[in-house]
Amino acid sequence: MKNIVFIWAMSLCMVNVYGKGTSKKLFLSSTKKKHTVFIEINDQSAYLFRLGYWNKPMGSSYSLIQTDTLSRQSSIDAYLFIGTNTKIQKDQNKLYVLLSDTPDKKVLKIEIDTVTNETEINQYINNGYWHTNFSTLSVEVNAMYPIDHYSFYEGYRYWDRFTNTQIYYQDFRAFADNKLKIIRDSVIEAKSSRSQLTQHTVNNISTISYTELKNNLIALSDDSERGYFSTIVHAVCMQRTDLLFKLADDNPSLKEKLLYAIQGKESIQKIRAAETNSPFKREVIKDRRQTTAMLIKVGTLYAALGVLVVYLIAR
């Protein structure tokens, strides 16, 4: 491979990579696993992709740390290609990419070499592009509707269903941009409707009828609307505790969701103070006792582990 690179680098200074008048592409990649860098070389330009790696409990993916467009230089220039923050140079029969846009402001010099598996390279780039932009979408949506979190983990679910993850990255980018727009519009439309329903219910909690309250909670009882559901339940606990017990006693399908949605000391205090024979009151109090006991046990365990670690270090 090094001989191929040397021949390519030398010929690049005089003619097009694949001969005058052609438009074929050449892919290069970093040779060390420490850095994930891919470069596409065309006749007069190059496109760089530097990827990071997200290793999360719910899944792992690549992310786009840096991209750049580089222009081919003359044969007498010290660099073969130069971009905004990157340069490609030949040094002792090897090719290197120099990256200056780094957190510590140091220039990274990374060896690169030709690769033949274009589909694999495209999949890496496509994975990074999709998850980076889906994360941006998630942040944007959550800023608009903070009550209910829209997780960027949803991006993994979409990615796993795609059948075109190895296509040329520019084609995938067009596909991804369109898909992200559709998802964004759909999520915002749904969250806007749920947000309005939640706001209406909370604003009218003191006068709302039992039937309307029940129907609104049922409409928001799906797990994906947990934040909106909990917001209404909190308002019911604080101002219409009697309806909370009636909802739980009359609607078994809602009882577990109501129990899960009750949060905060103020809500629990209101429930404890309520004069009622509803079995749901006892369930709430029992559940909170069990939760508190579990938290105490977990805290004790962590404290014991901390003492053990200190003891082992001190030995």
Q: What is the pLDDT along the chain (315 residues), one digit of tens a residue?
A: 443 444 344 344 433 433 343 345 789 999 988 889 999 998 889 999 999 998 877 788 999 999 999 999 987 678 999 999 999 999 888 999 999 866 667 888 999 999 989 999 999 999 999 999 999 999 999 999 998 889 989 999 999 999 999 999 999 999 999 999 999 999 999 999 999 999 999 999 999 999 999 999 999 988 656 889 999 999 999 999 999 999 999 998 888 899 888 988 899 899 989 889 898 988 888 877 776 667 677 777 777 777 777 767 776
- Provide the β-strand partners of residue 60: 55
Same domain flag for 260 and 160: no
Contact between 197 and 228 under an 8 Å Cβ cutoff? The reply is: yes
Last residue of a domain, one of 133, 162, 197: 197
pLDDT value at position 225? 64
Report which of 101, 103, 123 is spatially closest to residue 169, judged by C-alpha positions: 123
Same domain flag for 143 and 249: no
Categorise residue 106: left if φ over 0, alpha if ψ from -120 to 50, beta otherwise. Answer: beta
Last residue of a domain, one of 149, 171, 197: 197
Count structural domains, the chain: 3
Same domain flag for 131 and 233: no
pLDDT value at position 77? 74
| Long-range contact set of residues 58-65: C-beta below 8 Å, sequence gap at least 24 | 58/153, 58/156, 59/153, 59/156, 61/127, 61/128, 61/130, 61/131, 61/155, 61/156, 61/159, 62/36, 62/124, 62/127, 62/128, 62/131, 63/128, 63/131, 63/132, 63/135, 64/128, 64/129, 64/132
The pTM of the full predicted model, rounded to 2 decimals, is 0.76
Helix (H) or strand (E) holding 259: helix 252-261
Same domain flag for 229 and 310: yes
Same domain flag for 192 and 210: no
Same domain flag for 64 and 151: no
Phi, psi at 37, each rounded to 5°: -130, 130
Same domain flag for 148 and 248: no
Same domain flag for 89 and 151: no
Same domain flag for 214 and 236: yes
pLDDT value at position 15? 37
Phi, psi at 89, each rounded to 5°: -135, 160
The C-alpha atoms of residue 4 and residue 9 are separated, in whole angstroms, by: 8
Last residue of a domain, one of 116, 136, 162: 116
pLDDT value at position 76? 64
The C-alpha atoms of residue 133 and residue 169 are separated, in whole angstroms, by: 14
pLDDT value at position 8? 47
pLDDT value at position 14? 35
Same domain flag for 289 and 228: yes
Structural domain span for residue 60: 2-116
Same domain flag for 250 and 295: yes
Same domain flag for 6 and 108: yes
